[in-house]
Amino acid sequence: MSSLLDDLIGLLTLERLDTNLFRGQSLDIGTTRVFGGQVLGQSLAAANVTVEDGVVHSMHAYFLRAGDHTAPIIYEVDRQRDGRTYSSRRVVAIQHGRPILNMAASFQRPEQGLSHQSEMPQVPDPETLKDIGEYRREYLERMGESRIPRFAQLERPFEFRPVDAPPILDRTRRGPRTQMWFKTVEPLPDDANLHRNMLAYVSDYSFISVATRPHGDEFGAAGPQLASLDHAIWFQRPFRMDEWLLYDIESPSATDGRGLVQGRIYRRDGTLVAVVAQEGVMRVFRPA
């Protein structure tokens, strides 16, 4: 298995300190802060361990403070309710004695019911699109390493095939919607919770940046100031992270220094597997 993918699986495997207390480590992804998707994935992993019979169907998180990637994170789980069909958990991620994230998750025992879903947009197959690494190499050659953020230069345990150039690398003003195929670089174990934890992790990747697409060069040379405020996921149907998934992302609004983004994740056969939403800080950077 790829060392990067192995590291990610290890990252989402928490150390149990007590019945409802867990510890997770962090990875440097090229920023001064912990990647928000890491805290999402680890908080869901902590909640999963405490639910004996049920599958997560929704999680809602608020980012309170930037995390320190040089220090471990403690996850405290509150078992709020265990019902006949639904169970609820609250998770607080703590670092240096202060909460950095609050997350609430709901779990459901499987049951039969009515079903419908939105239709997957028509986009090119992933094999016909450039990997994000190719975009990265092109921009490095054209703009130089100093103009590309460090986190956009590092290799990832995922393949990303954007339908068009990602906002972090292309400041051209464009419509507030884009699509991206993604999957892990190698096959994963048959552990459904691991796949859901990993989806929570990757769902934060380049998500809020889609809200910058209509504004492009308005942010100036320094680029936008971005930070996630909250993040919600509704898990709908089974999926595998080692098979191609399409992330259809749209930003319906930006106002008052905030950007709002919504995403739908589909299997390659058109099955809707998850719906994601996030609001984040989106400011024009003005040096003090």
Spell out the domain ranges in the chain. 3-109+127-284
Mean predicted lDDT score pLDDT of the chain: 91
Our answer to whether residue 278 is catalytic in this structure is yes
Domain 3-109+127-284 has CATH 1.20.1200.10: no
Instruction: Tell me how crowded residue 188 is: count the other CB atoms within 10 A of its CB.
Output: 18
Name the one residue in this structure whose structure tokens are 């607080």. Answer: 92
| Contact (CB, 8 A) for 164 and 199 | no
Q: What is the pTM for the complete model shown?
A: 0.93
Task: Tell me what the mean pLDDT of segment 19-28 comes to.
Answer: 94
CA of residue 178 relative to chain centroid, distance: 16
Query: DSSP string covering 37-81, please?
Result: HHHHHHHHHHHHHT-SS-EEEEEEEEE-S---TTS-EEEEEEEEE
Q: Is the pLDDT confidence value at 148 over 80?
A: no
pLDDT at 24: 98
Residue 286 has pLDDT above 80, yes or no: no
Q: Point out which residues pair with 184 in neighbouring strands.
A: 158
pLDDT band at 222 (very low <50, low <70, confident <90, very high): low
Backbone φ and ψ of 212, nearest 5°: -85, -15
Active site annotation includes 228 = yes
Residue 161 in contact with residue 182, Cβ under 8 Å? yes
Distance CA 164, CA 170 (A): 9
Helix (H) or strand (E) holding 143: helix 132-143
DSSP state of 156: -
Kindly report the CA angle at 75 between 157 and 17, in degrees rounded to 5?
105
The alpha carbon of residue 9 and the mean position of all alpha carbons in its chain are separated, in whole angstroms, by: 15
**Annotated catalytic residue within 42, 179, 228, 262:** 228
Token readout for 53 is 């019979």
pLDDT of residue 120: 98
CA-based nearest residue to 226, from 275, 269, 157, 168 = 168
Beta bridge partners of 265: 247, 274
Q: Could you tell me how many residues make up the chain?
A: 288
Task: Write out the two tokens for 197.
Answer: 């934890």
Residue (of 174, 164, 167) closest to 152 by Cα position: 167
Q: How far apart are the two ends of the chain, measured CA to CA in Å?
A: 46
Tens digits of per-residue pLDDT, 42-70? Answer: 999 999 999 999 999 999 999 999 999 99
Query: Is 25 annotated as catalytic?
Result: no
Higher-pLDDT residue of 222 and 131 is: 131
Catalytic residue among 42, 204, 209, 251: 204
